[in-house]
Structures are given as C-alpha cells and as structure tokens.
C-alpha cells in the first residue's frame, strides 16, 4: 500500500516537473569539534559549489600511475600527456549529460573548471542549493577564530545521478581554520652571533648547525651541491595559500647573509590563480611563504622556483585551493609546469569528507601521472594530527593519508640525526595501504607498531614517506631574522633535493622522477639516511618510535644526495 502510494506520488511529481526521489550522498554524524551551530542563513545568500563528476576510469589511471612510477617496470618514467590522463579522468558522456541536464533544468549553467571536464562550478543561493540537494545549509561558527561558515551535516542527490555525481563541495567538509599555515611553530627574533656567522662559512658541518639551520647546514648534512643546476629544463613549484605572501626583499636579505656564494638578486617567478596575488612590503610578509621560498631558492641552487599563489574564498580553508591548483597545473603546458611541487599546508583527515578526500587524492594521482613529484608537509602535532590537541585515538592528517603524494616528516640534529617530536605520522582511516609500502610498513607493524595498537588503523595508508631537517630554520620575515620549526620546513628541503636530482636526470637525457613513492620504497630506500632515534608523542602517549627501517615518524629517512644519484642510475 505504501509502495503504491509512493509510486503514485512519484508519477505526480514527475508530471509536475517537481524534484525526483533523492538519495543521501554524504553525511557526517555531528558538528565537528570546534564549531557551533549559529543559525540559518538567508535563502538569498550566495553559494559557490564545486561538483565533481564520476571519472570514467580512475582505477585504470591509478594502475597506470603505479606502473610508470615503478623502477622495475618496462614503462618506468613514461609520464603521460594531459590528454592521455583526461582519457581516464573525464566523465562518461552519459554522466556528463545527466549532471548538466539536471543543472540546466534548474536554470544553472555549470562552468567547467578542469581540462578533463570532471569538475564543474555552479553559482547558486542557499535557497536553491537546499532544494537541489534536499538539505538545509546552516551557519556554523568556529569558536576559536570567530569565523563563520555555511555547511550542512548531510546532502542528497537525485537518485538518477548516483553513478554520475561524485561529490559536492563545500557541503559536509568543514574547514580547519587554524590549519594553515599548519606547520610553522613560532618566529622569535634572533640575530646570529658573530661566532655563528663565522662558523657558517666553514665547509664541514658547521657546529652552529646543531642549534640553527641555514642552507649550508642542509648542504653539509645531506651532501647537497652548492653549484648551479645546469639542464635549464627543471622547475620547482611552491604553493601559497590563505594570504601568505613571499617577499622578494626578505629573500634578497636571506641570500645576502646565508647564500653569499650566489647572486643575492636570485629570485622566484610568480603564478596566480583564483585571484591570488603576491603583494610586497613588510606588512604583507608571511612566514610560511618566506620559509618555503627561502629554503627552495636557497637549497635548489640554480633551479627556477615558481611561487604559485592561490587566492579564492578563504572561508573554504585551502581544500578548494588544492583542487584548483591541481587542475591548473594539469592544464598547464608541460614546458612551463614545475616537475616538483611542495606544499606546507594540510589539515586533519577527519575534517575532510571521504568523497572530497578521495577526489583530491585522485587529482594528485593525475599530477603524478603527468610526471610531477607532489610533496606535502606531514603536519606538526605528532600522532595528534596537524597540530597538538587532546585526543584519544591518533589523528591522521590530510593529504598525507592519500597514497598518490609524498608526505614529508621532520628531523633535527646530526650525528645522530633524530626525529623531531612534532613530526606527524600514522595511518589513514580513509585510504588502504598501497602495495608499494606493504613490506616496509608491515615490518614496522610486526614489531614496534604493536605498542599503541587500538589507537590507529593498521590497514590504512601509512605516512610520512620520508623526512628532512625541520627545526630552528633561520628565515628573514618582514626584515626580521627569526627561527621557525615544522614539517613546513622539511617539505621544501626534500623537494629542493628532488629538483636537483631531476636536473641531473634531465641533463643526462633521462625522464624526471615524477611520482616518487614506488621509487622511494624500492631502489630509493638505500639512498636515504635511516632515522632510528626519537618518537612523535601526542594524545597523552609517547607516540610511535623511530626504528630501523620505515617508521611513522620519519618514514624511510632523510636524503643522501650522492646515494640518490646512484639510485637513479647516475
Ligand atoms: C557567529 O558569528 C557571527 C559573525 O561573527 C556573529 O554575529 C554571531 O553572533 C555568532 N553566533 C554564535 C551563535 O556564536
Ligand atoms: C649560477 O647561475 C646564476 C644565474 O644564471 C649566475 O649568475 C651565477 O654566476 C652562476 N653561478 C655559478 C657558480 O656558475
Ligand atoms: C581503517 O582504514 C580502512 C582503510 O584502510 C577503512 O576502510 C576503515 O573504515 C578504517 N577504520 C576506521 C575505524 O576508521
């Protein structure tokens, strides 16, 4: 009886052109920690939503990516063109038509925001979005920052679109307003002593590197050459978000003092998207952006560095920015595109909806397939996530849980180099353990991992993959000299070294390293300094211990330039 009534009312509503039956597409149990419900927004409030369409063969792309990034494969290094990648990621004609017809029937024109046509953007209102997605968008305030966001705890899509529509964002993904810059701990004003200054000009590892880190320390500890890159064909990209601006005057002061062997006029290129900009002047100095620029230009000697400033709606955190940046780079002429990208922003995985996390992760897979090494800082809260916080279960970070990017943790000191206690590491609750890391991670789990069993998900993708120095980096910010610590420092350092290896590869007529992980966990492992001391406390536990082999504090270890050259066959 109920059934036939339903049928009758369905026919009636179809006849009237009213909405079709909906199915719930994504839902979260409760308002995330730190947010409070703050009322119902006016139905005329404007909303910009990104719609991800189901890609026609993303599993095919993931398999191809693993194949071309595995050194033992016959097709290793045969990176794909944008159109080859789009062959896998574009939606099927049926999915494309289904979603666009539905939007058109609701008077909406979708702007395509990706070369494969797998992402659309619509401009709508809260009132219309409520009926499109059978939901009620609400206003939520973030208690600590007072920022206001429009989100919902669940949204639905017409049943006929299931299988065509992958994700709508932002909906159930709450931003982490304190997530960026996640990884810089503090800047304290600190002038170098004259003794430190003199010491830093020595060729061996200067003793002062025990207290502070400058480029000469990175060069000495990892054997990184100070000579110019020569191929002329490699580039290194640094992403910038949330109003963090890299200053040319600060870079010049930094190089004058800490890379006096290269021209202090060495600078970086700028690319912008989503209305991004890079205003100059001490009042615009961002210590994250300055750190990232000073330790790429200052370490990847002679490699052109591009600062990519992503603008856009800061109320969305940086997640839409990650997506737009990935689509921007994919669409870029390969000759102009950096083959290495370092990003020192991230969030806790639980803040990101599984569908959005998956879609972003697949965007990083596309970049990897195009021959890019995509590196992110792992986070600064030890096992507690992107930042220290109280917790019971360990908190994995995003995007470090994504298997198609390279996550970089932090170390400090030398002889011995040890784990930095804030270095985030652990196991994703969203992504399965990829096969390239099974041997390394299972060896860890069989021994040390048992200590904190029950607080983490042993079947998840484990991170970080690698690590690098990340403590007491000297930077110039707004004219002041200070020190910062964080995995934010480690990612630019590792990325710079990969860019220099790429330079040697290209000079030798070989392809660039591209997606790194299958290389790192096979041939590359022997080229990394295994870190076996330290741990990453958090959640009122000692965290994970660093041990022989891979560990969820320092990954496989830190770079050894000479051994990396050997590992890539140079
Ligand atoms: C939420 O934030 C807005 C804007 O800052 C403020 O006007 C409002 O009073 C806040 N509401 C609650 C419930 O905190
Ligand atoms: C490195 O390249 C820069 C810019 O091309 C140049 O000014 C500098 O002299 C070069 N340094 C060396 C040691 O070749
Ligand atoms: C553990 O991780 C797997 C992915 O490897 C996931 O399917 C599962 O839901 C996770 N468990 C919890 C409790 O989050």
pLDDT tops 70 at residue 2: no
In a domain, 500, yes or no: yes
- pLDDT band at 224, cuts 50/70/90? very high
Q: Which of 141, 147, 315 for a ligand 1 pocket mutation test, highest count of atoms within 8 Å of Cβ?
A: 141
pTM of the model: 0.93
In a domain, 178, yes or no: no
Q: Can you tell me the distance from the alpha carbon of 44 to that of 380, in angstroms, rounded to the nearest whole number?
A: 40
Question: Is residue 435 within 6 Å of ligand 3 at its C-beta?
Answer: no
Residue 383 has pLDDT above 80, yes or no: yes
Residue 313 has pLDDT above 70, yes or no: no
Question: Is 341 in contact with 165 (CB distance < 8 Å)?
Answer: no
Question: Do the domain assignments include residue 69?
Answer: no
Contact 549, 459 (CB under 8 A): no
Question: Do 112 and 223 belong to one domain?
Answer: no
Is 234 a domain residue?
Answer: yes
- Nearest to residue 382, comparing CAs of 445, 450, 456, 446? 456
Dist. CA 441 → ligand 2 center (Å): 43
Q: How many structural domains compose the chain? A: 2
Query: What is residue 203's predicted lDDT score, i.e. its pLDDT?
Result: 52
Residue 230 C-alpha to ligand 2 middle, in angstroms? 10
Cβ proximity of 209 and 414 under 8 Å: yes
Look at residue 151 and tell me whether its pLDDT is greater than 90: yes
Q: Is 60 exceeded by the pLDDT of residue 448?
A: yes
Task: Tell me: do 265 and 215 sit in the same domain.
Answer: yes
∠357-95-105 over CA atoms, to 5°? Answer: 105
Q: Establish how many alpha carbons lie within 13 A of residue 200's alpha carbon, considering only the half-sphere containing its beta carbon.
A: 21
The whole-angstrom separation of Cα 315 and Cα 185 is: 22
Judgement on whether residues 156 and 288 belong to the same structural domain of the protein: no
Which segments of 20-142 does DSSP mark as H helices, in order? 58-69, 82-89, 93-105, 126-132
Could you tell me if 393 and 357 lie in one domain? yes
Tell me the per-residue pLDDT of 33-76, one tens digit each, with 9 for 90 and over: 889 999 999 999 999 999 999 999 999 999 999 999 999 999 99
Could you write out the DSSP letters of every residue in 165-200?
Answer: EEEEESSS----TT-SS-S----EE-PPPHHHHHHT
3-state helix, strand, coil in the chain (%, to 5): 35, 20, 45
**Catalytic residue positions?**
288, 292, 488
- Mean pLDDT score of the chain, rounded to an integer? 91
- Predicted confidence band at 197 (pLDDT cuts at 50, 70, 90)? low
Are residues 103 and 228 both part of a single domain?
no
The answer to whether the beta carbons of residues 168 and 133 sit under 8 Å apart is: yes
What was the pLDDT predicted at 5? 32
Same domain, 233 and 300: yes
* Domain of 380, in residue numbers: 185-567
The whole-number pLDDT of residue 317 equals: 64
Assess whether 116 and 192 both reside in one domain: no
Instruction: Tell me: do 192 and 163 sit in the same domain.
Output: no
State whether 424 and 505 are in the same domain: yes
Residue owning the nearest CA to atom 12 of ligand 1: 38
Taking the centre of ligand 1 as the mean of its atom positions, its distance from the CA of residue 152, in whole angstroms, is 17
User: Domain ends where: 134, 169, 204?
Assistant: 169
Of 142, 169, 196, the last residue of a domain is 169
Alpha-carbon distance of 324 to 297, in angstroms, equals 25
Helix (H) or strand (E) holding 2: helix 2-15
41: in domain: yes
Q: What is the 8-class DSSP label of residue 436? A: G
Residue 15 is predicted with a pLDDT of 41
- Strand ranges across the sheet with 119-125: 111-112, 119-125, 46-53, 165-169
Same domain, 284 and 152: no
DSSP-based three-state secondary structure for 389: coil
- End position of a domain, from candidates 106, 141, 169: 169
* Distance (Å) from CA 427 to ligand 3 centroid: 9
Which pLDDT score, from 0 to 100, does residue 205 have? 80
**163 touches ligand 2 (CB under 6 Å):** no
Let me know if residue 74 belongs to a domain: no
Q: Is residue 421 part of a domain?
A: yes
Residues 422, 536: one domain? Answer: yes
Q: Which amino acids are annotated as binding site for Ca(2+), given as ranges? A: 530-531, 549, 551
From the CA of 432, give the closest atom in ligand 3: 5
Q: Determine the Cα–Cα distance for residues 475 and 250; give it in Å rounded to an integer.
A: 8
- The confidence score (pLDDT) of residue 367 equals 98
Can you give the length of the chain in residues? Answer: 570
Sheet holding 148-151, edge to edge: 35-37, 138-142, 148-151
Q: Is 315 in the pocket of ligand 1 (CB under 6 A)?
A: no
Beta carbon of 454 within 6 Å of any ligand 3 atom = no
Q: Band the pLDDT of 568: cuts 50, 70, 90.
A: very high
User: Does one domain contain both 253 and 324?
Assistant: yes
- CATH label of the domain that carries residue 412: 3.40.50.200
Does 138 sit in the ligand 1 pocket, CB within 6 Å?
no
């Amino acid at each position: 009886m109920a059934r036939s009534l339903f049928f009758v009312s369905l026919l009636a509503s179809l006849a009237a052109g009213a909405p079709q039956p909906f199915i719930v597409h994504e839902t979260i149990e409760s308002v995330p920690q730190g947010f409070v419900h703050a009322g119902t927004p006016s139905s005329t409030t404007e909303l910009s939503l990104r719609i991800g369409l189901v890609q026609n063969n993303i599993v095919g792309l993931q398999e191809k990516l693993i194949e071309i990034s595995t050194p033992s494969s016959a097709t290793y290094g045969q990176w794909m063109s944008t159109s080859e990648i789009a062959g896998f990621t574009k939606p099927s004609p049926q999915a494309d038509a289904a979603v666009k017809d539905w939007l058109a029937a609701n008077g909406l024109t979708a702007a395509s925001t990706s070369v494969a046509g797998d992402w659309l953007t619509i401009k709508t209102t809260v009132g219309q979005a409520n009926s499109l997605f059978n939901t009620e968008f609400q206003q939520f305030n973030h208690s600590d920052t007072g920022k206001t966001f429009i989100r919902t705890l669940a949204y639905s899509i017409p049943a006929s679109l299931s299988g065509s529509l992958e994700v709508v964002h932002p909906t159930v993904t709450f931003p982490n307003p304190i997530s960026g810059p996640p990884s810089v701990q503090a800047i304290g004003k600190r002038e170098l002593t004259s003794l430190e200054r003199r010491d830093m000009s020595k060729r061996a590892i200067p003793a002062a590197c025990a207290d502070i880190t400058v480029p000469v320390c990175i060069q000495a500890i990892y054997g990184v050459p100070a000579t110019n890159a020569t191929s002329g064909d490699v580039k290194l990209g640094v992403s910038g978000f949330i109003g963090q601006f890299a200053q040319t005057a600060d870079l010049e002061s930094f190089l004058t003092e800490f890379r006096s062997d290269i021209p202090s006029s060495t600078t970086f290129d700028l690319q912008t998207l989503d209305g991004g900009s890079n205003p100059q002047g001490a009042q615009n100095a961002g210590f994250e952006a300055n750190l990232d620029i000073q330790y790429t230009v200052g370490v990847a000697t002679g490699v052109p560095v591009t600062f990519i400033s992503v603008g856009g709606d800061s109320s969305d955190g940086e997640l839409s920015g990650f997506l737009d940046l990935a689509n921007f780079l994919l669409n870029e002429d390969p000759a102009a595109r950096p083959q290495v990208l370092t990003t020192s922003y991230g969030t806790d995985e639980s803040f990101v909806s599984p569908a959005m996390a998956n879609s972003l992760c697949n965007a990083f897979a596309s970049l990897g397939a195009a021959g890019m090494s995509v590196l992110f800082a792992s986070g600064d809260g030890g096992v507690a996530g992107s930042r220290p916080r109280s917790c019971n279960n360990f908190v994995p970070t995003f995007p470090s849980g994504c298997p198609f990017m390279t996550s970089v943790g932090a170390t400090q000191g030398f002889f011995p180099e040890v784990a930095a206690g804030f270095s985030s590491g652990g196991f994703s609750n969203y992504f399965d353990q990829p096969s390239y890391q099974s041997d390394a991670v299972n060896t860890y789990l069989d021994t040390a991992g048992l200590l904190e069993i029950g607080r983490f998900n042993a079947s998840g993708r484990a991170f970080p993959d690698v690590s690098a120095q990340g403590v007491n980096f000297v930077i110039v910010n707004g004219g002041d000299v200070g020190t910062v610590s964080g995995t934010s420092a480690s990612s630019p350092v590792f990325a710079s070294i990969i860019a220099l290896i790429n330079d040697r590869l290209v000079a030798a007529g070989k392809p660039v390293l591209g997606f790194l992980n299958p290389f790192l966990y096979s041939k590359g492992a022997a080229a990394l300094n295994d870190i076996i001391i330290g741990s990453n406390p958090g959640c009122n536990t000692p965290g994970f211990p660093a041990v022989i082999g891979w560990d969820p504090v320092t990954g496989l270890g830190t770079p050894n330039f000479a051994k990396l050259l050997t590992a890539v066959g140079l």
